[in-house]
Amino acid sequence: MNILVTGGAGFIGSHLCTELLKLKYNVTIIDDLSTGSLDNLTAIIDNEQLTLIKGSILDKAIFEKVSTHVDTIFHLAAAVGVKYILDNPLQSIHTNVMGTENVLEFAHKTNIKVILASTSEVYGKNDKASLSENDGRVLGSTHITRWSYSCSKALDEFMAFAYHRKFGLPIIITRLFNTCGPRQSERYGMVIPRFIKQAIQSQPITVHGVGEQIRSFTYVSDTVRALIALMHEDKCIGEVFNIGGKEPVTIKKLAELVKKKVGSSSRVIFIPYEEAYGAGFEDMQRRVPNIAKIKSFIDFEPLVGLDEILDTTIAYINQEMDIVEKKNEIHSC
C-alpha cells in the first residue's frame, strides 16, 4: 500500500510516517520544511520505503513528482499555531485553502482516499461543555486575524465534502484537539512545550489572559492511532470526527502542573492577550471534544492521560536541551 503524507516532516506528520513505516507501508512525504524539519525524520530518513519530496503543495507540479500510485493521502500540510497565523495571515490562508484544493484535485484524478486533518478551531468561540461534530461555529469579526485560521480550515472541510458529493471522492475529515508530545515546537505558540522550556530554564511561565480558559490535550500517539484506524474503515468515508483527549484542564492549572513536575522555581505570571498577540485578540473560553462519534465508528479511546503526556514531553525536552548544550560546549572549545 502506498501512502502520501503532506506535511510529513511536521510534528504530527513525522510521528504518523514513523508508524506507517512500522506497518510496512510505502510512504511518500511532500513538505516544504517551512514549519516542519528534517530533524523530525532523523529516525526514518534512510528507510527504503520512504520517499521525501521537498516542495510546496501550492505548486501543482509537485504532485507530478509522486512516482508511484497512491492509495491514500493524509493531508496534514497546513499553516499551524496561533502565533504563526498572526505573523503570516496571507500565506496561511493561501496554504490552507489553495493547498488543500490542489491536494483534492490530485486525489480526484484517480479517486484516492483523503484523510484531511482539520482542527478544533473550526468551532470558534462555541463554549459548549463538550463539542460534537454537528455543533455550530461561533466566530468573531473578520477584523480579527485569529479567526482566519478557523475559516480557512472550515473552507477545507467544505471543499472536501463538495468533492465527495459531486465526484464521490472518498474523504474523511478529522478535527484535532491540541495534539502534543515529543518533537512539538514552542515556536508557534504551542503551550505545553513553551511552559516546559520556561520551567526548565527557570524563566517565568507565561499564561495568556487570566488562565481560566479550558483545553483538552491529546498525545500524538493517540492521534496517529486514530488516523490510521480511520483509514482502514470504509464506513468512515464522508464523515467528520473529533480526535481529542478526555481530561479538561485550565491553562493556569496546566502551568502549575508543569512547574511541579519539572521541580522549577519559575513564577507563573499572567500576560494580557493584547500584550502577547496585539490589540483585539480573542480566544475561546472552553474547547473540549465529545468523542462519542469516533468511538462508535472505530472504538477509539485516548490511552495517554495528561500526567503521562507531561512526563514524556518533559523527558524529551530535557534530553533535547542537554544535546544542544553539549553541542554548544564543543563549539566553544
Say how many domains are in the chain.
1
Query: Within 13 Å of residue 291, how many CA atoms lie on the same side as its CB?
Result: 25
In a domain, 64, yes or no: yes
In a domain, 33, yes or no: yes
CA distance 86 to 173: 25
Q: Considering the candidates 25, 84, 123, 149, report the single residue annotated as catalytic.
A: 149
- Summarised one tens digit per residue, pLDDT across range 220-273 is 999 999 999 999 999 999 999 999 999 999 999 999 999 999 999 999 999 999
Overall size of the chain counted in residues: 333
214-215 and 249-250: which strand pairing?
antiparallel
In a domain, 238, yes or no: yes
- Summarised one tens digit per residue, pLDDT across range 54-77 is 999 999 999 999 988 999 999 999
Q: Max CA-CA distance within the chain?
A: 64
Domain that holds residue 161: 2-181+217-245+289-303
99: Cα separation from own chain's centroid: 16
Q: Is 277 a catalytic residue?
A: no
In a domain, 229, yes or no: yes
In a domain, 74, yes or no: yes
Q: Is the pTM for the entire model greater than 0.85? A: yes
Residue 131 is given by DSSP the state: B
Instruction: Give 30's strand partners.
Output: 6, 53
In a domain, 89, yes or no: yes
CATH classification of the domain holding 19:
3.40.50.720
Which residues lie closer than 8 Å to 207 by C-beta, 6 or more apart?
251, 252, 255, 268, 269, 270, 271
